Structure 1
Amino acid sequence: MSSDQKADALVRRLQECFNTRRFDDAAPLHAPDFFSHPLGAGFPAGKDAWLALTTRYPAMRVVAQDVILDGDKAAVRSVVEGIDGARPELYEIFRFEDGRFAEMWGASTGFPWSGSPRELLDQDADH
């Protein structure tokens, strides 16, 4: 399997963990020092964001539409299904190191007001 195929499989495995709500299964896919730039933290904060999102939107699923690979990075455009009245999109860039996620940058569009992962985490911290 080529490095591009491995990276593509890793991205799709991450989405499978999210869509099946097996968040703990995603932990080994991330390097110990993984860093999410949008959240300003590591994997535990990402897991908390996933929990907050799926609590608010129980039918939510993420489906990759485009995965573009370049060296040790992948750009991923995904649609979010299962949110009534909305069809958000996620735009993420992942950097890989030793076959695992090392860094992530991302943005989203189309989430209902106060429905983005960062906003949900900020709301939980305020309560």
Structure 2
Amino acid sequence: MTTREEAEGLVLRMQECFNSRQFDQAADLHTPDFFSHPLGATGFEAGKTAWRTLTTRFPDMRVVAEDILVDGDKVAVRSSVEGTAAPGMLLEIFRIDDGRFAEMWGITEGPDPRH
């Protein structure tokens, strides 16, 4: 079982990697078989590519955790998204395995950063 402190620390480290553009460091926060449901991809490389695409389009983009809820091996995060054409919100649910992200589901509210 993941403690609230462990889950919160993992989420905040991941967001710091994104916000500081240290994408390679985030790979260690994910299991080798990490699965992103929104991307339909296994492994963190697809996520890293998506992060690079987003930050190229929105160089000032940042995510800030507003709420982090933990239940067993699941962590739900509501984050504000700053630095895009209009503020938005990101909702993500992660499954944690042995202190690392193993699986992720998510939705974005606000402008679609892919367009």
Aligned counterpart, 1:124? none
Per-residue CA distance 1:27-82 (angstroms, 9 max, x = gap): 00000100000000131110000000000000000000000111101000001111
| Aligned residue in 1 for 2:82 | 81
Which has more strand, going by share of residues? Answer: 2
Structure 1: gaps (5+ residues): 121-127
Task: Report deviation, 1:8.
Answer: 0.7
Stretches of 4+ aligned residues off by more than 6 angstroms: none
Match of 1:90 in 2: 90
The TM-score with structure 1 as length reference comes to 0.85
Structure 2 gaps of 5+ residues are none
Higher helix proportion: 1
**SS, match of residue 96 in structure 1:** strand
% of aligned pairs identical?
A: 63
Instruction: Provide the aligned C-alpha RMSD in A.
Output: 1.2
Alpha-carbon distance in 2 for matches of 1:4, 1:75: 11
Amino acid of the structure 1 residue aligned with 2:6: K
Aligned residues between the structures = 113
Q: Which has the larger radius of gyration?
A: 1
